[in-house]
Amino acid sequence: MKTPDPRPTAVNTPLTDTPRRRAILKQLRSHPTVKGSVIALVLLLATVLLAPFLAPQDPYNLAVLDLMDGRLSPGSASMNGFRFWLGTDSQGRDMLSAILYGLRISLTVGLSAVALATVIGSLVGLMAAYAGGLIDTLLMRLVDFILGFPTILVALVLLAMLGRGVDKVVIAIVVVQWAHYARIMRSRALQERRKEYIEAALNLGFPAWRIMLRHLLPNCLGPVMVFATIQIANAIVLEATLSFLGVGVPITEPSLGLLIANGFQYLLSGDYWISMFPGLALLLLILSINVIADRLRSALDPRST
Amino acid sequence: MTTQPLLAVYGLHTVFHSEEGAWPAVSGVDLSIQPGEIVGLVGESGSGKSVTGFSIFGLIDPPGEVIAGEVLFKGQNLRDLSEEQMRQLRGNRIAMIFQDPLMTLNPVLRIEEQMLEAIQTHTRVPRAQALKRCVEALEMVGIPSPEKRLRCYPHEFSGGMRQRVAIAIAMLNQPELIICDEPTTALDVTIQGQILYRMQEICRTHGTALVWITHDLGVIAELADQVAVMYAGKIVESGPVSQVLDAPAHPYTRGLLDSLPGAIQPGQRLQQISGMAPSLSNRPNGCAFQPRCSHALPQCATSEPERTTVDQRTYRCFAPLVALGPAA
Amino acid sequence: MSHSTPPVIELRNVHKRFVKKQDLIQRALQLAGKPPEPRTVHAVNGVSLAIAPGEVLGLVGESGCGKSTLGRVVSGLHRQTEGELLYQGTAVEQLNRMGKLAYTLGVQMVFQDPQASLNPRQRLHQILGEALQVHKLAPMGEIPARIDKALAEVGLAAEYRNRLPHQLSGGQRQRVGIARALMVSPKFLVCDEPVAALDVSIQAQVINLFMDLRAQHGLTYLFISHDLGVVRHISDRVGIMYLGKIVEIAATAEIFARANHPYTQALIAEVPNVTRRKRMFVPIVGEIPSPLNPPSGCTFHPRCPLAMTRCREEVPTLEAIAPGHWSACHLNHTSA
């Protein structure tokens, strides 16, 4: 039973702007888990950006590595007094540096894959919703077709054909993921297209592209953006999975997944740090992204504001 | 009036809490309804009329809160009752009908189940007898082939039919009072006529009292015995319908009547009330209507007019349009 | 009314049908023998109208009568299924590109829902200025001045130019919708229930605005509403629609004084009137039929207190029963 709510909406507040964005941010900030997640994420982002400066060792520079330093436990020092705070892996790589660089790759893959998929998927969904008819049917059958395949399978096949590399991983993820965005954008755009301001735009003789991009798109971004934020975490996990399986990034540029894979064999012999610390880093990254995305979703829900 | 009123409301205050403070939706409403009487509660959006109805019925949920006042139903203060006790009254002695019949009707249950539930919650009646009452209730609101229609789902009815079903459910336990919150606003004119006809019949045959909340003065004129006009959370004028509509005391009532298209020759400019009704956050000092009032006195801006009662009429105004003497 | 100037808008036997598409499952079920459900909504069923320059034609009807669809056909948002639509004497189909643009901009629409009729992401100056920019109707430097003028004309202060729609009240949003329509200097406005969603006191303001603008700009209106009182006040002529057809049309004073069609009479009797007191309601019976399944013959016959056998079988046509007064009812043919 919904009691009438006569509280003033922005209508009645004086001329000073209180944009909805501010209200949403306020709601986000107020939740304690969100605060923690934002702090964690900001720290992670900072370390990732500053990785070249923070990392004591460049894990990709094979010349620096010394096999003699291999599998040293956390806190131990190398031959020349260099302290490995998180231990080393089998190649003598400093885990701390490797994790910092690995986070970089994870975030790069996550963000670029999602950005590309969002752009492609949104445009397709928008076109399908606006054009309707045959174009809509064709595009949506294509979407259905793509969504029928499990993402990992397609990614595996694609990467087998394309080879290893960060850019190829991004392509593989985008090829499957864009279809989700298309669906979401299309359903939102179908609702929005019926609204009278779109009819008004048609009535004023605006060209189709203008109505789609200037009028329809900005008002349909909400659910797509929320989905995208959640998908960043998914893309990161996907990349980690693919690298774990050995088809993602090259061995010389380990991502978190590859690090976890490398350390797997040593897990039972007691050298836990080679897998565990990358795993923890991955967990922390995904957790903070998911918490923020979840709160973003409920904050963007128009009924709550 | 020597008989005890069926419903008497004194000093009702309802607020809605928010970060910026407590917004006063209803600020001191007094109502009195005799058994079998039809009272119209008229106002525009933001006047607090719906909130008044919900407050009486006890449906104000947080962030709303009824913070003061008495709601006496047959002498008993509803605000003192527990939720369990209120539930026994609701749908039984007092009922409510809403603007959207889908607020009453559960879209996934058949009408039969919903009506039986309404009966059996309050009285232990064998199913066959309860079904008979349901059929009678549907007949009373003019639904053809009621036995078949009982098995239908709400979406199989048109808007007007759904509202009739909602009225039938409200009438199942022969309540003494029905609060109607804009039940015909969303309906076509001819369907509205049918509903009003049914409501009139029900009130006549069963002696049910009605609180009819609406913005449509025409409906009140033709249906109600008493009318109360609300503005910015207060009742600014009340009294018998013919007296108030023929000779309104408050400038707002006059303004409303004058701005109706029928009040003036077609083609002429309508008399408009300038400005907008104040929102909850910027209610002016003094009389809330003063910024828009063409009869305002200097004191209207600084002090709030008290309620003046003359005979059966009340008004809140320092400069009433009609001199209401004892003879009025 | 001079006969040399063509009517601004003319409709000749216009039909608009909507057909619900069947998906695969429904088609399969139908092949298997399930009786076909009605899928065609005959929203506008043979309407012929001519609206002269400067006239206000009020169009009244209840849900499902097709008045909104008719409005959208007139403004070009829907293409008619059958029949001709003429703008200033020329059929719209035969207009060249320039002519089509003139028609699109010349017939503007004011919508019912103030909330949905403005782009929530655009500020007022963008909403108002966009058409001028897109169609290059004014040099860039002049546009801000035009916007301020438009705002002033509908009674909004110039500071509102930076506001977003959700910062305006319903009445203010409706004014912006009107200003937006006027920016392209139209000749004809289709007003689709423009005051239905507004409070009574705001309605009066907006109705006055419509009347003022009509006088100032020499506009022609098709004023669609379910509110007889409002239509009576603003219109020169009134047409009553029922289930896709016009059942009666006449000058305003004439139709209210001498309503001929039983539906018109019922409408006028049913409208709550503030001057009447405590009356016994005697409503017309029956539900408004669904446009998917209209009754045979005269579609009003199931609800008509005066229905004859003929009404069930034959569709009545609009005939002149007095100069300028047309009605579609078989009762006009009886000797009584």
Domain chopping of chain B, boundaries = 7-93+173-315, 104-172
Average pLDDT estimate for B159-172: 88
User: What pLDDT does residue B326 have?
Assistant: 54
pLDDT value for A16: 38
Mean pLDDT of C261-285: 81
Domain A50-65+94-300 has CATH 1.10.3720.10: yes
Mean of the per-residue pLDDT values of chain A: 80
d(CA A182, CA C58): 44
pLDDT on residue B181? 93
**A215 close contact with C: CB closer than 8 A:** yes
- Give the separation between CA B137 and CA B170, rounded to whole angstroms: 9
* φ and ψ at residue C110, rounded to 5 degrees: -115, 130
Q: Show the tokens assigned to A238.
A: 């996907």
Question: C121 and A219: CB-CB below 8 Å?
Answer: yes
Q: What percent of chain A has pLDDT over 70?
A: 80
Crossing angle, helix C170-182 and helix C124-134, to 10 degrees?
10
Give the count of alpha carbons within 13 A of C253, CB side only: 3
DSSP C81: S
Please check whether residue C233 is in contact with residue C210, taking contact to mean a CB–CB distance below 8 angstroms. no
**Are residues C134 and A206, on separate chains, in Cβ contact within 8 Å?**
yes
Q: Looking at this protein, which amino acid is placed at residue A147?
A: L
B322/B275 Cα distance (integer angstroms): 24
The pLDDT value given to residue A9: 46
Sign of torsion, CA C121 C123 C127 C132? negative
User: What are the pLDDT digits (tens) for B88-102?
Assistant: 888 889 999 998 888
Spatial contact of B208 and B176, defined as CB atoms under 8 Å apart: yes
Q: Which residues from B are below 8 Å from A3, CB to CB? A: 51, 54, 59-61, 64
Provide the strand spans (E) within chain A.
none
- Closest of A110, A75, A109 to residue A94, by C-alpha: A75
How many inter-chain contacts (A to C, CB under 8 Å) are there? Answer: 67
Chain B: residue whose CA lies nearest to C285: B194
Q: C9-121+164-333 has which CATH code?
A: 3.40.50.300
R_g (Cα) of chain A, nearest Å: 24
Which tens digit of pLDDT belongs to each residue from C33-56?
Answer: 777 777 788 899 999 999 999 999
pLDDT at C31: 80
Question: Do β-strands B234-240 and B313-315 pair in parallel, antiparallel, or remain unpaired?
Answer: antiparallel
Chain C residues 3-62 within an 8 A CB cutoff of chain A: none
Residues C216-263: tens digit of each pLDDT:
999 999 999 988 889 999 999 999 999 999 999 999 999 999 999 999
Residue C171: pLDDT over 70: yes
Q: Which CATH superfamily is domain B7-93+173-315 in?
A: P-loop containing nucleotide triphosphate hydrolases (3.40.50.300)
Range C172-179 average pLDDT: 93
Instruction: Reply yes or no on whether the pLDDT at B328 is more than 50.
Output: no
Q: Beta strand B177-181 with B94-97: parallel, antiparallel or unpaired?
A: parallel
Tokens of A292: 């923020």
* Packed helices A217-245 and A151-162: angle between N→C axes, nearest 10 degrees: 70
Which residue of B lies nearest to A3 if distances are taken between CA atoms? B60
- Residue B36: count other Cβ atoms within 10 Å of its Cβ: 16
Distance from CA of C176 to the nearest CA of A (A): 12
d(CA B209, CA A22): 48
Mean pLDDT of A16-21: 48
> Is 80 exceeded by the pLDDT of residue A59?
no
Residues B193, C226: C-beta atoms closer than 8 Å:
no
Identify the residue with better confidence: C212 or A67.
C212
- CB spacing of C171 vs B276 below 8 angstroms: yes
Q: Which residue in the block uniquely carries the two structure tokens 């919904």?
A: A2
ipTM: 0.87
Average pLDDT over residues A207-221: 92
Total length of chain C: 336
What are the structure tokens assigned to B100, written together?
Answer: 């959207």
Token pair for residue A46?
């900072």
Question: A137 pLDDT exceeds 60?
Answer: yes
Mind telling me how many Å the CA of B141 is from chain A's nearest CA?
Answer: 24
Does any CB of chain C come closer than 8 Å to the CB of residue A202?
A: yes
Asked if A204 reaches chain C (Cβ–Cβ under 8 Å), the answer is yes
Chain centre distance of CA C173:
20
Q: Which residues of chain A make contact with B90, given a CB cutoff of 8 A?
A: none
Cβ atoms of C173 and C117 closer than 8 Å: yes
B61: which DSSP letter?
Answer: -
